[in-house]
Amino acid sequence: MYRDSSTSSIVLFGPPGAGKGTQAGNISRVTGKPQVSTGDMLRAAVKEGSQLGIEAKEYMDAGLLVPDKIIIGLISERMAQDDASQGVLFDGFPRTIAQAEELSEITEISMVIMILVPDEEIVERIVGRRMDPETGQIYHVKFNPAPLDIASRLVQRKDDTEDTVRSRLNAYHSQTKPLSNWYKENETVNSALRVISIDGRGSIEQVSALIEKELES
Ligand code: AP5
């Protein structure tokens, strides 16, 4: 069983649609670290209609990264909350080297879990994704269908179109992917950091099992 009594945090890293949100609940349960998703926080701000949400929406709808300054502000506020004191599971953050550098000033990172899925599979995963607005549960029309009794209330994210996915993938390759080498280089000089690569191409259950095996080793 995974045991981590430290106050360090975990980063869940990967391209859009790799399965970060799908796997986060289980990792959170196993590690005891609360999930902190910048995507979810930004969508909540957009829904609220706050100034931050209005500013972020433009970038999100276009499949672009929201400026680092906004994201760092959100994370700093979130990390000041009580439940973050024993470290958290970051989902979709950091996404640029600048964000990772700022993060290293806020909390220690003990593990980076990289879920790797090729671009061709990403598009099908994202376009078929559906969300339950009541529970936040993530489904897929083909790979993870929702129970029939809730099917009518499912929604599709506004940025889950084929065009926007292409922009998100471009942003991933140009701004986020370089972070994987940045963390691997950090691992060579920081013995407290472990970077794990997970093949995300299997079923949801197979990917969960691969991650749990790594967490327990
Ligand atoms: P965000 O919400 O973080 O989106 P993302 O990173 O693009 O990730 P997704 O939520 O699309 O995918 P996921 O990996 O969680 O996959 P999921 O588990 O849902 O960010 C949205 C936007 O906010 C960004 O574009 C940006 O504008 C902004 N933003 C957020 N954070 C930011 C930051 N730090 N800096 C700057 N801007 C930021 O799975 C996808 C689908 O696949 C689901 O339908 C699921 O059922 C299915 N699935 C999952 N696993 C499998 C499997 N193994 N096999 C088959 N299907 C699977």
In the predicted structure, residue 1 carries a pLDDT above the cut 70? no
Which of 201, 168, 203, 195 is CA-nearest to residue 179? 195
Tens of pLDDT, residues 125-135: 999 999 999 99
Per-residue pLDDT band at 217 (split at 50, 70, 90):
confident
Tens of pLDDT, residues 136-177: 999 999 999 999 999 999 999 999 999 999 999 999 999 999
38 lines ligand 1 (CB under 6 A): yes
Ligand 1 mean position, distance from CA 73 (Å): 21
**Taking the domains of the chain in order of start, what are their residue ranges?**
9-33+86-216
Ligand 1 mean position, distance from CA 21 (Å): 6
Q: What is the mean pLDDT of residues 79-86?
A: 95
Residue closest by Cα to atom 50 of ligand 1: 19
Per-residue pLDDT band at 69 (split at 50, 70, 90):
very high
In the predicted structure, residue 208 carries a pLDDT above the cut 90? yes
What share of the chain in percent tops pLDDT 90? 96
Per-residue pLDDT band at 3 (split at 50, 70, 90):
low
In the predicted structure, residue 195 carries a pLDDT above the cut 80? yes
Q: Which two tokens stand for residue 213?
A: 């095996």
Residue closest by Cα to atom 41 of ligand 1: 125
129, 142, 176, 198: residue to mutate for ligand 1 pocket, most atoms within 8 A of CB: 129
Q: Tell me yes or no: is domain 9-33+86-216 CATH 3.40.1190.20.
A: no
CB of 14 within 8 A of CB of 117? yes
Residues labelled catalytic = 20, 95, 129, 157, 168
122 lines ligand 1 (CB under 6 A): no
78 lines ligand 1 (CB under 6 A): no
11, 13, 20: residue to mutate for ligand 1 pocket, most atoms within 8 A of CB: 20
Kindly compute the dihedral angle of the four CA atoms of residues 99, 100, 106, 107, in this order, to the nearest 10 degrees. Answer: 150
Which of 126, 132, 127, 139 is CA-nearest to residue 154? 132
Which of 60, 211, 208, 63 is CA-nearest to residue 144? 208
Per-residue pLDDT band at 6 (split at 50, 70, 90):
confident
In the predicted structure, residue 5 carries a pLDDT above the cut 80? no
71 lines ligand 1 (CB under 6 A): yes
In the predicted structure, residue 4 carries a pLDDT above the cut 70? no
Ligand 1 mean position, distance from CA 19 (Å): 7
Q: Which two tokens stand for residue 206?
A: 């197979």
Instruction: Give the pLDDT of residue 2.
Output: 61
Specify the DSSP element, H or E, that contains 122: helix 119-127
